[in-house]
Structure 1
Amino acid sequence: MTTALILAGRRDGLTDPLALEAGVSHKCLAPVAGSPMLTHVAAALAASDGIGEIRVAIEDPEVLAGVPLLRRLLDSGRMMPVAARPNLVDSILAAAQGAQFPLFITTADNVLLTPEAVADMLGQCGTPGTDAAVAFARRESALAAHPEGQRKFYRFAEGSYSNCNSYWLKDRAALTAAETFRSGGQFVKHPMRIVNAFGFLNLVRLRLGIGTLAETFARFSRRFGMTIAPVILSDGAVAIDVDNSRTRAVAAELLNARMAVAQAAE
């Protein structure tokens, strides 16, 4: 079984604008479609056949106990809270202590994650020789899910992609790949972080769209001394994470549509 890790801590210890607007301590508790963000992610992971334990990195584990679904998962032993650290990488390293690998890592604002998308990623990560994987969705898939959901894409020779905030590590040795995010991640919004993580030439190549996605990750693999593979998810909605009021509204629209379909099926 794969252990799941949900990163739910406050970035740089600051209160997110969405949390302030909702009057909650953490962004992960801000409601989307009537439920805290974190519950959507936790529910998707709990319904995934390939996922065993679910770990949640958050500063104050007590905040989880106030949410009914999370309380049930905690009481059942399926969910385990771990103390988030000020830095994203340190949170991952701390949360991985004693965990069973492989490790699937996602974020609490990845509210459109589904059990099918998790299965899609885990199924593609089983390629022999792969040490770590990063999930992407094609631009066409993301825009088909919602035309206003994602506006920023990485451009490559064969097309453009969006990151899906989903990562996979084969074993403890692969944790060195987590150092990529010590500067904070969100590379498409902060290009200088690419320089810190991957080098200046790789920033230039990304800016100019030189090379395919696979070729780019081959270079990253050589830089880190392990095989890091891109995984293309078929569900473009997973590329839409909740970062602001616009994406929260988009996510709520899609989640409500899913719930309406599920109710009609019943």
Structure 2
Amino acid sequence: MSKVVAGGLTALVLAGSRGPDDPMARAFSVPHKALIPVAGVPMLLRVIAALAATPEIARIVVIIEAPEIVQVLPGLAAAANGKPVDTFLAAGSPSLSVVAALAQYPTPLLITTADHALLQPAWVSHFLSHVPAGCDAALGLARSEVVLAEMPDTRRTWLRFVEGAYSGCNLFYFATPKAQALAELWKQVEALRKRPVAMLRLLGPSYALRYLLGRLRLSSAIARLGELAGGTKAGIVEMPFARAAVDVDKPADKELVERLLATDIR
């Protein structure tokens, strides 16, 4: 495992929206998706509070196209708990924003999203402490059986490999400057997000075919992504927390998150 120095990391929070007509912001009558209240607390504030309570995190940077939203957010000081919260102007997409931020903020960096409304400090610490040694970058994934054991009716986007089916957890670790190459590759993947066949072709024909036939190993896919990013070493952290796979991307997600939070306080 890699060693992360306690209190030394910068955390980037991706809080960009889909513009003035963001469907989620419109659905909940707020000026920005990050301000959607979850159990009465804006999502962004929940994420900031979780990161501020994580010992390994020293500073929080919110990447957003409207920095003034963060600067006047009621309750920000209490959520930050004495840790600095800065803003960085978002680019046109998450990957473009990360590429731009990497030019200003040196690695190592933790990256998460503003709609990760259930985020807990223990999840972040677990993720950081389990990054495989020698990795330039890592991402968190949760197995389907872990997620479905707690939330059997949830609908997730599963990545299906020989080892099992996985859901992303919106946790990324950029350990070294070489992770810049993975961010650049992310731009290509993001541009093809509505064209899954074209996305698979990025891996190469044999990899795409094995994935479609259910014969591709996750370890092989990750190694291939590293090759495509100029020899970058990428790694996976399996998250044992079912709720780490939940973000608020549609109204049904908000309902699920609030049900889970209500269960916690009974």
Moved more, 177-186 or 79-88: 177-186
Equivalent of residue 50 in structure 2, options 23, 44, 56: 44
1:95 aligns with 2:101: yes
2-side partners of 1:207 and 1:189: how far apart?
17
2-side partners of 1:255 and 1:4: how far apart?
24
* AA matched with 2:40: G
1:92 to partner: Cα distance: 0.9
2-side partners of 1:133 and 1:157: how far apart?
20
Question: Paired residue for 2:13?
Answer: 6
Count, aligned residues: 258
TM norm structure 2: 0.87
Equivalent of residue 24 in structure 1, options 30, 52, 70: 30
TM norm structure 1: 0.87
Moved more, 92-101 or 161-170: 92-101
Structure-2 change in CA distance of 1:196 and 1:105 (3 Å): farther
Moved more, 192-201 or 80-89: 192-201
Question: Paired residue for 2:257?
Answer: 251
Structure-2 change in CA distance of 1:95 and 1:196 (3 Å): farther
* Cα deviations by residue, 1:157-192 (Å, 9 ceiling, x for unpaired): 121111111111112221211123325649887514
Question: Paired residue for 1:214?
Answer: 219
2-side partners of 1:15 and 1:5: how far apart?
24
1:134 aligns with 2:149: no
Structure-2 change in CA distance of 1:239 and 1:186 (3 Å): farther
**Structure 2 regions of 5+ residues with no counterpart?**
1-7
Question: Paired residue for 2:166?
Answer: 161
**Residues 146 and 250 in structure 1, CA contact (< 8 A), matched pair in contact too:** no
Question: Paired residue for 2:118?
Answer: 112
2-side partners of 1:66 and 1:235: how far apart?
32
Moved more, 195-204 or 157-166: 195-204
**Residues 33 and 253 in structure 1, CA contact (< 8 A), matched pair in contact too:** no
1-side partners of 2:91 and 2:193: how far apart?
24
**Structure with greater proportional helix content:** 1
Q: Secondary structure at the match of 1:129?
A: coil
Q: Secondary structure at the match of 1:182?
A: helix
* Cα deviations by residue, 1:239-260 (Å, 9 ceiling, x for unpaired): 11111111111011112333x1
Q: Secondary structure at the match of 1:135?
A: strand
1:223 to partner: Cα distance: 2.2
* AA matched with 2:227: R
Equivalent of residue 66 in structure 2, options 26, 35, 60: 60
* Cα deviations by residue, 1:129-181 (Å, 9 ceiling, x for unpaired): 21110110000111123123333211111211111111111122212111233
> Aligned ranges for residues 200-211 of structure 1 at < 5 Å?
200-211=205-216
2-side partners of 1:35 and 1:181: how far apart?
31
**Structure 1 regions of 5+ residues with no counterpart?**
262-266
C-alpha root-mean-square deviation of aligned residues, in Å? Answer: 2.4
* Cα deviations by residue, 1:37-73 (Å, 9 ceiling, x for unpaired): 1111111111101111111100111111332232556
Q: Secondary structure at the match of 2:178?
A: helix
Structure-2 change in CA distance of 1:77 and 1:187 (3 Å): same
